Amino acid sequence: MRHARRRIVRRVTRLAAVGGLLLGGAMVTQAAMASESSGTSAVPFSSKDTTTDEGAELAARLGASRTAGNWIGADGKPVVAVTDEKTAAEVERAGVVAKVVSHSMNELKSAASTLRSAPRVPGTAWVMDYRNNQVVVQGDSTVSSSAWSKMTQVAGAIGPFVRMERTQGTFTTRINGAQPILSTGGRCSAGFNVTNGQSDFILTAGHCGPTGSLWFADNQGTRQVGRTVQQNFPGSDFSLVQYASGTAGAGADVVSIGNGNGVRITGVGDPSVGERVFRSGSTSGLRDGQVTGLNATVNYPEGTVTGLIETNVCAEPGDSGGPMFSEGIALGITSGGSGDCTSGGTTFFQPVTKAMTALNVQMIVSKQAAGQNASQAPTPAASATHSAIAPGSTSPGSSAPSSGIENGATLLARITDPQNVGPGLLVIAGSIVALVATRFIRAEQDRKAYQRQYRAMWG
């Protein structure tokens, strides 16, 4: 009876020890995986605060024949342009500011369509100016007097709500995220990290290089970043660079803003006219400004690109493909523009929502709530407002260290980090001690039983 009880005790002890080993192993793996970056996930879209989208939602619901766009006023409140007093009253009842205008969105779109059908003139661009209820046609310094005269005639035939403007500099793509990526075609900036569920990619500008372009993180071409697997340019301006390793690694949810600092990306959205935004690039670093127009068309020397976001944020060669964002929300990737960061200028961005839809990819974002620790993030200047946020309070997003374009730590490195796996290792160590102890006790009991039997047999 006593021997049976001992056997039961030994078996229970061994089972407990084996269970401890399995539990400790699970704890180690869990801790190691949890320590990988700051916790990221992939989402197709993540809208901004609901109050910031009220204007856009109202304009969409009321229709293009009764409205003419929406924007953010100087007080941070959404404004909707409407074509009659009845619609204005409906907008006001919804708690949104209404402005009665003469021309509907349908008329603005018709004007833009007429301009697109005219002979193409490189160095020109046009955008819908919602706040002034006009379509603005711009011509840079490369447009000849005769070409500009012809464009003016086309605009005049459309109506007085088409405004002609000459601009300084030239409209060019900004080839030459903000981390630099280099190929034989020039230097660009990495945009945002995206995934299709099997592989990770850099979403950057399409004009940076054709499909098959190899990209490196150094001038010597020894640190390959990846290869362009899909290019969309002209027409649109975005492309996918597939990571050579297949994964974006640690910090995939962070965009660089210079000096080893970064901003966590927490979602994806579309900007509003009047919204304050931030852009980062490998040439000029972090810059801020305001969205001045949507659905812009630009006639670059290489071809025409439509559906762009127009801003007064400056950019320079090499900034192409870099990210535009606000409050941690990814908005666009740098396409091109005019001017520089000394005299200022106009910069156009490819909306990320349209690019992601066309490419069937999802943004890699931080699980951290949008806006957390926003006060720690750098804020270049208090200028325009971000949707319903008070003027000057907008920030790029929550701050984070920027590690550059490198693969993340291996699972083995994380497993051997005592900070991550200490509790699990203690459980494993205790279980091993228990197994060794039960084995030793059994061996000692067997030895004593043999001695008793030997003495009984031989006296």
Residues annotated as catalytic are 207, 237, 320
Residues 36, 410 contacting (CB under 8 angstroms): no
Cα 367 from Cα 359, distance rounded (Å)? 23
Q: Helices 418-458 and 2-34: crossing angle, nearest 10°? A: 160
What three-state secondary structure class fits 163? Answer: strand
Q: What is the token pair recorded at 392? A: 């000057």
Interior angle at CA 102, CA 97 and CA 107, nearest 5: 110
How far apart (Å, rounded) are the C-alpha atoms in residues 217 and 452? Answer: 76
Whether 345 and 168 have beta carbons less than 8 Å apart is answered as yes
Question: DSSP assignment, residue 436?
Answer: H
**Distance (Å, rounded) from C-alpha 236 to C-alpha 385?**
28
Q: What is the DSSP letter of 390?
A: P
Closest CA to 300 of 392, 188, 173, 192: 173
Buried b / exposed e over 355-389, threshold 16 CB at 10 Å, is bbeebebbbbbbebebbeebeebebeeebbbbbbb
How far is the C-alpha of 71 from the C-alpha of 81, rounded, in Å? 9
Structure token pair of residue 344: 């200022």
The whole-angstrom separation of Cα 124 and Cα 325 is 26
- CA 441, 445, 446, 447 torsion: positive or negative? positive
Strands 224-232 and 214-216: antiparallel
Task: Give the DSSP per-residue string, 102-166.
Answer: SS-HHHHHHHHHHHHHSPP-TTEEEEEETTTTEEEEEE-TTS-HHHHHHHHHHHHHH-TTEEEEE
Q: How is residue 82 annotated by DSSP? A: E
Residue pair 93/79 in contact (Cβ under 8 Å)? The answer is no
List the one residue out of 59, 76, 61, 75 whose CA is nearest residue 130: 59
What count of other Cβ atoms lies within 10 Å of the Cβ of residue 126?
Answer: 28
What is the end-to-end Cα distance of the chain in Å, rounded? Answer: 26
Contact 239, 204 (CB under 8 A): yes
